Amino acid sequence: MSAHNHTEEHHTGLRVYAAVCLALFVLTAVTVYVAKFDFGDFNIVVAMLIASIKAAIVALYFMHLKFEDKLTWIYALYPLFLLFLLIGFTIMETFTRVPVIK
Looking at beta carbons only, is 38 or 101 nearer to another protein? 38
Give the nearest distance from C-beta 25 to another protein in angstroms: 6
Classified as helix, coil or strand, 36 is coil
Q: Which residues of the chain form contacts with another protein (CB under 8 A)?
A: 1-7, 9, 11-14, 17-18, 20-21, 24-25, 28, 31-32, 35, 43-44, 47-48, 50-51, 54-55, 58-59, 61-63, 68, 71-72, 75-76, 78-80, 82-83, 86-87, 90-91, 94-95
Give the nearest distance from C-beta 98 to another protein in angstroms: 17
Buried b (16+ CB within 10 A) or exposed e, 70-90: eeeeeeeeeeeeeeeeeeeee
Contact 31, 47 (CB under 8 A): yes
Largest CA distance in the chain: 68
Give the nearest distance from C-beta 43 to another protein in angstroms: 5
